[in-house]
Structure 1
Amino acid sequence: MSRVWFITGASRGLGRAFTEAALHAGERVVAAARNVEPLADLAERCPDHLVRLPLDVSDRAAVYEGVERAAAAFGRLDIVVNNAGVMLLGMVEEATEEQIRAHFDVNLFGAIWVTQAVLPHLRAQGGGRILQVTTMGTGGGFPMVGMYAAGKSALDSVSEAVAMETEQFGVKLTIVQMGGYDTSLFTTGTTMTTPDPHYQRLRDELLQMWGDDAGPAPDTAVPVIMELIDLPDPPLRLIVGNASYDLVQTDLEDRTAKYRAWEHLSRKAPG
């Protein structure tokens, strides 16, 4: 029997690519997004395998209601992909309280609400898969994307706890640390801070460093995800992206070297 996917942020970028891949594999999908109109073509092609679900993941009550509708649509949930996300782009000092809270409401709390809502269903049926889509940049902050990295880093930690808590129920969770893909996150999914002129030099340097390359198409990541969900013993964490893997390893080595450089001071405390 085909499996049932529940994918948030399914109308564009990686979510759309995962939705298309699951449908192509003969799976059934409940595709959730704030605006589900971009999924109309898929609904027309796969009317018996796709249910579009309008959903704002920042609304906890709506998430719980939406998950109940999703589980009822095909009778179960097998693969949950927490993919919905937004970007707050700007220096930390520039960000308003409203912007910060709205950002975390989607990227952190939205994923937590979905996780909480699906777990009773997965536990009752004896298992399932959860993919928590984060980023290869969760190892630390970086200028202009500090809030994004913070939300995804927090989700990493929460997800690791969930994985340990729910393994006993047959739930297998993987933190999918995506590299840079052309998902429109930096365009339609972005909120910009009001630039502070004190940071203009750094801002110019960063924009020049990033350039205009939006990264590879989202569907190039699909084969990895499709292989991942078929693994009987999947990893807790998986970096998705060849270049991203190298960057993460370099960052880890640099961080280890810096810890060791100050080991003599760290060891002066007994804790």
Structure 2
Amino acid sequence: MTNRKSSLVWLITGSSTGFGRALAEAALAQDDHVIVTARDISKIQDLEHQYPQTAKVVRLDVTDQATIQSAVQIGLAAFNRIDVLVNNAGYGLMGAVEEVSDEQIRNQLETNFFGLLNVTRAIIPTFKKQATGHILNLSSAGGRVTLPMLGLYHASKFAVEGLSETLAQELKPFGIKVTIIEPGGFETDFVNRSMVTAVQMPEYAPFREQMAAFSLEHPQGHVPTGVQAILKVVELPDPPLHLAIGPSALPMIIQKLSSDIEEYQRFEDIWQDSTANASEASKQSNLAQKV
């Protein structure tokens, strides 16, 4: 229960398990209204039975434009407005860039990037009409930091980051907020349920061992704690563009950004030298023309 005068209306994609399910349950528990969506609605039907007045279960496949438009319209018909969009649907693809198939690459980007893009584009007109709305895009610490064997997953999340940063600039004049949620590892079944693995080539075995060791070395976040952080950010009048959650996310991101800055600065003289040489060459050329 919150101290708000009115409840919020959420639309959450990928609500059958993991963060999507936990967030839907938490929002409903605090008397908000939720358009609960998944490809298989049999896995979320119980939420509508438990909260018949405030939960609306709708089938939504982020790779199917027709179901996206239908879910938005059904949600608006049920609750008259949508205040928060949570683009949560997505999965991982494990494999070296050489190992993953063309079909796996396209499917990864179709769900993690184009699916998110299509749902967002479908709801922007509603948010503009309302002159308010908050888009929460579930990226990952892997949208800022890379590891071997996750190249295409990283590519999809880096794309989400770039898209979201631009959206934040374009939509701010309309009263629409954008926050990129960047979870580190959490205690979910993501690795088992939501991870596709490419056919393995033996020469990449050392990287698979490295990834296994990485998972053991880094602590996992508690899902309810992560959900509470997301609920809090929605309440902020001026929410952040980036929100790292989980015990390992922010340290990894800070280390990566610091390393990037150090490298840029270490080699900035290459550009400065090139600029100086070009300037000198231009002066000599102009002098020769005058002579």
**TM-score normalised over the length of structure 2:** 0.88
Counterpart residue type for residue 144 of structure 1 = M
**Alpha-carbon deviations, 1:3-44, whole Å to 9, x = none?**
110000111101011101100110000011112222233222
Q: CA RMSD in A?
A: 1.7
Q: Distance in 2 between matches of 1:241 and 1:203?
A: 23
Is 1:179 matched up with 2:184? yes
1:189 aligns with 2:194: yes
Matches within 5 A, 1:127-146: 127-146=132-151
Matches within 5 A, 1:1-271: 1-211=6-216, 215-270=220-275
Query: Would you say how many aligned residue pairs link Structure 1 and Structure 2?
Result: 271
Deviation at 1:213, TM superposition (A): 7.4
Q: Is the 8 A contact 2:221 2:247 kept in 1?
A: no
CA distance in 2, matches of 1:233, 1:201: 45
The runs of at least 4 consecutive aligned structure 1 residues that moved more than 6 Å come to none
Distance in 2 separating the partners of 1:193 and 1:101:
13
- Contact in 2 for aligned 1:134/1:155 (Cα 8 Å): yes
Q: Partners of 2:271 and 2:41 in 1: how far apart?
A: 52
Query: For residue 23 of structure 1, what is the amino acid of its counterpart?
Result: L
Between the aligned partners of 1:178 and 1:209, the Cα distance in structure 2 is 16
Secondary structure at the counterpart of residue 209 of structure 1: helix
Q: Which runs of 5+ in 2 are unaligned?
A: 1-5, 279-291
The alpha-carbon deviation at position 129 of structure 1 amounts to 0.8
1:229 counterpart SS class: helix
What stretches of structure 1 of length at least 5 have no aligned partner? none
For residues 227 and 73 of structure 1, do their structure 2 counterparts lie closer, same or farther at Cα, with a shift above 3 Å needed? same
State the secondary structure of the residue aligned to 2:135.
strand
Q: Deviations along 1:42-63, whole A, 9 cap, x unmatched? A: 2221111111111110112321
Equivalent position SS for 1:186: helix
Residue 183 (structure 1) shift = 2.7
1:197 Cα offset (Å)? 1.0
Q: In the TM superposition, what whole-angstrom CA distance separates every residue of 1:189-215 from its partner, at most 9, and x where no partner exists?
A: 111100011111222232233239782
1 CA distance for matches of 2:222 and 2:247?
14
Aligned pair in 2 of structure 1 residues 216, 237: CA closer, same or farther (>3 Å)?
closer
Following TM superposition, by how much is the alpha carbon of 1:259 offset from its aligned partner in structure 2, in angstroms?
A: 1.6
**Structure with more relative contact order (C-alpha pairs < 8 Å, separation 6 or more):** 1
Measure, in 2, the Cα distance between the counterparts of 1:69 and 1:214: 40
Q: 1:61 to 1:43 in 2, by over 3 A?
A: closer
Contact 1:64-1:113 at 8 Å conserved across structures = no
Q: Is contact 2:180-2:241 (8 Å) kept? A: yes
Mean alpha-carbon deviation: is it higher for 183-192 or for 203-212? 203-212
**CA distance in structure 2 between the partners assigned to 1:228 and 1:64 by the alignment:** 27
Q: Rate the CA distance shift 1:65–1:215 in 2: closer, same or farther, 3 A.
A: same
Compute the TM-score of the two structures, normalised by the length of structure 1.
Answer: 0.94
CA contact (8 A) 1:182 1:214 kept: no
Q: For residue 253 of structure 1, what is the amino acid of its counterpart?
A: S
What's the CA shift string for 1:198-245, capped at 9, x where partnerless? 111222232233239782332121221111001001111111123321
Contact conserved, 2:184 with 2:221, CA < 8 A, in 1?
Answer: no
Task: Give the aligned partner of residue 288 of structure 2.
Answer: none
CA distance in 2, matches of 1:176, 1:168: 22
Quickly say closer, same or farther: Cα 1:109–1:214, change in 2 above 3 A. farther
Q: Which amino acid aligns with 2:49?
A: E
My pick for the range that moved more, 153-162 or 33-42, is 33-42
Between 107-116 and 133-142, the greater mean CA deviation after superposition: 133-142
Rg bigger for which structure?
2
